[in-house]
Amino acid sequence: MNQGFLPICRKDMDDRGIAQFDFVYIIGDAYVDHPSFGHAIISRMLESRGYSVGIISQPDWKNEKSIAIYGEPRLAFLISAGNMDSMVNHYFVSKKHRPSDAYTPGGEINKRPDRATAVYGNLIRRTFKNTPIIIGGIEASLRRMAHYDYWSDSFKRSILLDSQADLLLYGMGERSIIEVADALNSGIAVNDITFIKGTVYKTKSNDGFYDEITLPTYETMKENKRAYAESFRIQYENTDPFTGKVMVEEYPNGIYVVQNPPQEPLTQEEMDEVYELPYMRTYHPSYEEKGGVPAINEIKFSLTSNRGCFGGCNFCALTFHQGRTIQTRSHESIIEEAKQVIADKEFKGYIHDVGGPTANFRHPSCEKQMKFGVCKNKQCLFPTPCKNMKVDHKDYLSLLRKLRQLPGVKKVFVRSGIRFDYLIEDKDDTFFKELVQHHISGQLKVAPEHISDAVLMRMGKPENKVYERFQKKYKQLNEKLGLKQFLVPYLMSSHPGSTLKEAIELAEYLRDLGYMPEQVQDFYPTPSTMSTVMYYTEIDPRDMKPVYVCKNPHEKAMQRALIQYRNPKNYDLVKEALLKAGREDLIGFDKKCLIRPRNQAGLVSVGKENGKDDYKKKSNQNYSFQKNKSSKAAKPKKTIRNVHKKK
């Protein structure tokens, strides 16, 4: 029976008559008891097995007493930096501070430290010298071995060492945390827990390993970027629970960091159990006076359908964290959760999302995968779809139809990523048609990321012709259904492999499409992605060949500006980029030009008047001028954005 939220203060502990918690859980986020938050799942899993858990949310890391409010736990301290890496949470790719934190009450910033996992671990260790410390969550998971850190531009040790923790749980962790808890509860010392899948431990003995892979040493990788690229490739090939090997990384002073193979995927019954635990499904009421926790707004009326992703984008960390094997919940489990959502007094009839990392993945990519594991050296969709891949949307479509029919539901949206390259391979158009007809609201967001095949190859994405096929089909379906809905493509600038040439190629594509994106994502080198390793080493780990990397902030600004070349604020950067790339042909009055000439006084040339240039002051409007046919300046074209607003 649900007793409400877990204890968050000493009074809650005393009110429940708990003399000593089994686990004290330090979290960098506000306490939100919802299955979209990792700390909620881990704490409820432990509670379901009879273990008591006390939550300390966003402790004052400058005050050692803040993590000692409950005293020493019986079994261990648990640490998670939160649902995001703390550095990504704090900083834009420009390394400037973000103005708000969606995972903190009221969106307040500076409520958790940079590198929160390591800071919390050291804070605990100063007070509790011998109590086991176990770290997990996305920050620990992606920094479990030696890695490049973008924010300090340095090569860092495993976070297991920097945090002074005893054990690290990587991946989603539900099964691992129970196995670790049971081992500790049986009296096994934390230093002897070396046998659980999905964990990383440290040791001073290099004996006792079986069939292990010895990675390059930390010192070797620190001095030799090529060695790090080779190490990462090996790690990437061992992310599968069926084929993954033990991997050993040596550090100075005879310390070894050892990664056990990943945990096997949860069965559907196990997934259902995780999501049917007695969550309160919202933030702790103590945050109400600050306006609550903003992050709840994105997930309160959404449903998680699956985990894992076999898409294999190189800039994404999912392969390292959740793995490539798809895990799903049953229809019954999802529908029961939907009924809870519908019963919420704030529900307005709209289910915001039904999905996961990739919405339209509802089964493993092929039958062989469940017996032999995913392929080490092949991707399911890249560079072309594998002949063994099973393309079938029937199960997902059936689920969406059931949800649409629930009393009180007006609309069921799909807002998780749709893999268009997977969808377009489905010879049955039924799902695509119903997606367009019932599950989007005016626009569908997809992620082609770029249009240059040279860049797409580095991204691990399909060639641009695949997106064009999808785009054409989407348009046809909308016309057939009498709908006027748009595609909104996510685009990325400055990804490894992108020079000014490829950035201009993308700008020309957008010009021909008549579309200027309102937002552009500059490539963000986050820990443990293939693309981040390319960024740091300037080597593609897949073939160990050199790759061009844009690291100069000014060139990055030019590449980003080219995607939004119609924005007057970007004029100087766009012009500089075109001149530097030798593309003066794109500065002029032809319809193929990106920008118009401008004189020294800061005026934009709009044509000729009696054989002389006629100029007009720059406006704040988007400027894409027609060729001048009279002495008057042509009016600027309506932007796509404004046309949409009028419609």
> Minimum mean pLDDT among 371-385, 436-450, 525-539, 599-613: which range?
599-613
CA distance 133 to 130: 9
Give the pLDDT mean for 88-116.
97
- What's at 263, amino acid-wise? Q
Give the pLDDT mean for 343-353.
96
Give the pLDDT mean for 614-629.
40
CA distance 375 to 389: 12
Domain 448-595 has CATH 3.30.750.200: yes
pLDDT for the residue 2? 52
Average pLDDT, the chain: 92
pLDDT band, residue 632 (cuts 50/70/90): very low
- Tens digit of pLDDT for each residue in 547-563? 999 999 999 999 999 99
Phi, psi of 149 (to 5 degrees): -110, 110
**Sign for the pseudo-dihedral over CA of 166, 170, 172, 173:** negative
Largest interatomic CA distance in the chain? 94
301-441, CATH topology level:
Transcription Regulator spoIIAA (3.30.750)
* Neighbour tally for 512: CB within 10 Å: 10
Query: Taking 80 as the threshold, does the pLDDT of residue 249 lie above it?
Result: yes
Give the pLDDT mean for 507-536.
93
Domain 10-194 in CATH: superfamily?
Answer: Cobalamin-binding domain (3.40.50.280)
More confident residue, 329 or 634: 329
627-632 long-range contacts (CB < 8 A, ≥24 apart) are 627/589, 627/590, 627/591, 628/589
Q: Where are the alpha helices (DSSP H) in 29-165?
A: 38-48, 86-90, 116-127, 137-142, 159-162
Contact (Cβ atoms closer than 8 angstroms) between residue 34 and residue 296: yes
- Tens digit of pLDDT for each residue in 54-87? 999 999 999 999 999 999 999 999 999 999 999 9
Q: Per residue, what are the HEC states of 567-601?
A: CHHHHHHHHHHHHHCCCHHHECCCCCCCECCECCC
Spatial CA neighbour of 624 closest among 581, 593, 598? 593
Cα distances (angstroms) measured from residue 513 to each of 29, 284, 442, 508, 600: 42, 47, 18, 9, 31
Spatial CA neighbour of 539 closest among 572, 568, 496? 496
Tell me how long the chain is.
647
Give the pLDDT mean for 254-275.
96
Phi, psi of 27 (to 5 degrees): -125, 145
Q: Which two tokens stand for residue 59?
A: 């402790």
pLDDT for the residue 371? 81
More confident residue, 285 or 637: 285
Q: Identify any residues that bridge with 449 across adjacent strands, giving them in sequence order.
A: 491
Domain ranges of the chain: 10-194, 301-441, 448-595, 597-638
pLDDT for the residue 610? 44
CA distance 193 to 196: 7
Spatial CA neighbour of 381 closest among 326, 472, 313, 320? 313
For 229, residues 6+ apart whose C-beta sits below 8 A from its C-beta are 533, 537, 539, 540, 541, 544
Q: What is the pTM of this model?
A: 0.90
* Neighbour tally for 502: CB within 10 Å: 24
Same topology, domains 301-441 and 448-595? Answer is yes
Give the pLDDT mean for 313-333.
94
Query: Taking 90 as the threshold, does the pLDDT of residue 647 lie above it?
Result: no
Query: Taking 60 as the threshold, does the pLDDT of residue 267 lie above it?
Result: yes
